[in-house]
Structure 1
Amino acid sequence: MFTTTVCAALSAAGLAIALLTAYRRRFRRATKIAALSLVPVGLAMAGLVKLGGKVGRATGDWATDLVFKPSVWGGFGVLAVAVVLWVAQRFAGERAKRKAGGGAAAPAAAPAASQPALGAGRGGKSRGSAPATTGRRGSGSGSGDEDFSDIEAILKKHGI
């Protein structure tokens, strides 16, 4: 009951300020103030003020238990052990996969997978050479340079 009265008083004060602002011909500002002043009464009527109080009390009780009850600390200890076991099994699983696959299997897959990105399919360049895009710019041939020739033509047209 007291909470509802306080919320209604806050809303009434806000609406009075909104009326004074509207009297000064600041209608947009007055509308904004009126909208914000209706929030406390709306929260009280919807029951959200009481809900917020219950959530606050429950949070406070939990924090008090966290500080003063050893069983809560034990619960956090159990959660920490669970996280450590989860992470350890992930690392152990990855290590077991590496051992089962052999030492040469993983590196052999990487160069074959990266060859198209390095340009081995274009002109037969080896893996150790520079990518194909560095030598192409000045030559004026190739499918990628057709795009550049269009851009160059536009720039020449505009005198750049």
Structure 2
Amino acid sequence: MLNKELELINSYLKYLDVGNQEISKGSVGWHLDHSLKVINNVSVALIKSDVRDYNSKFNLLRLITFTIGFFPRGKAKSPKRVLPPEEISIGDVKNQLDLATKNLKLITTLKDHQHFIHPLFKQLNKKQTIKFLRLHTNHHLKIIRDILNK
């Protein structure tokens, strides 16, 4: 799950300090760190969730976003807990990547109605959470490709 995305993140580690202000305020390292923080924070929320609290509700924004398969740039604001620090070290990003790999493997063992509450998409079950993580990670990988002009 998200194996391709994690491999790409690993391949971009050597470009940690590269930036392009015309594309993004954040460097490649910023986008890598943020993506991994999201994967790990969302994974923890999913793991800790109680299936008894799951209550499926329709969400138009989620339906549209998940159907079109991408996030528009510059429209959402990240919660503080997933914002990268001022100084981003390759060691820290590698540790987060290792943790993300373990967390994503663990997610596959969870029950279908374990869930994560997103500020805009609201309650996401396991399958929807995995889709969100894939869309979110690919959103930032696209920005990285643009920064690197690849």
- Shorter-chain TM-score bucket reads under 0.3
The structure with more helix, counted as a fraction of residues: 1
Name whichever structure is richer in strand by fraction.
2
Higher relative contact order (CA 8 A, sep 6+): 2
- How does the TM-score come out when normalised to structure 2? 0.22
TM-score (norm. length: structure 1) = 0.21
